[in-house]
Amino acid sequence: MYGCGLRAGEAYNLQVCHIDLAKRRVHVVNRAGTEDIPPFTVKAEGQSSESKERTVPIPEAALSDLTAAMRLAFKSGGFIVLTSERFAVVQSNWRQSRAGEAWNGKFWRPWQNRDMINNVLRDTKVFLRRAGVELTAPFTLHSFRKSFAQNHAEAGTPPRTLAKLLGHANTRVTMQFYNRVTDANERAAGEAMDRLLAQKEQATSVS
């Protein structure tokens, strides 16, 4: 999610067949549901407009962990991130959903991308604490994707290119990250001028 800018639903629906290690690419594509595997639609949860299927480069730093995860994916239906235990729960829930039965412990509702995961935010915060990462602001799984986008904007990646990497239909949403860069640059310019004026005032006082 951090290195490739994937949404949480996209990451947890990712299968081995969508990874090209030789070309270092992740393919985020729609998947039709089967009797045992739920469907996946490339879109942001809660938004009416669908996002685009896309191919995203994999950073070098993620290759070793991703390769290790792929070796174990055969235990969980080819899904990269799911454990075998979670995959069994997903299969059970999906079969009940297809049958029109209550499958989430309370009632029936349409399947969503995020139904592949459970308590992931809680577990992620636990792992962050173990790694010595201190959270100083509100944190969600979407924070990884937002950081990916902000890093690209600050590095000067063109808006159209970043929109393509994020799967945005246009650059309207993408531009918020460049606006933050502009704000940061303006603040930095103001701080630089403050320092220059302070130095000038100090020099005048000395003379």
Question: Could you give the 3-state DSSP secondary structure of residue 118?
Answer: coil
- The pLDDT value given to residue 104: 77
pLDDT single digits (tens) 127-146: 899 999 988 888 999 899 99
Regarding whether 114 and 139 lie in a shared domain, the answer is no
Regarding whether 11 and 78 lie in a shared domain, the answer is yes
DSSP assignment of 47-92:
-SSPPPPEEEEPPGGGHHHHHHHHHHGGGGTTBSS--HHHHHHHHH
Residue 205: inside a domain = yes
Residue 111: inside a domain = yes
- The pLDDT value given to residue 98: 92
**Count of beta carbons in the 10 Å neighbourhood of residue 61:** 10
Residue 165: inside a domain = yes
Tally of domains in the chain? 2
The reported pTM is 0.79
Regarding whether 103 and 139 lie in a shared domain, the answer is no
Regarding whether 145 and 113 lie in a shared domain, the answer is no
Residue 129: inside a domain = no
Residue 79: inside a domain = yes
Residue 53: inside a domain = yes
Residue 66: inside a domain = yes
Q: What is the extent of the structural domain holding 60? A: 1-118
pLDDT single digits (tens) 5-48: 998 889 999 999 999 999 999 999 999 999 999 999 887 555 54
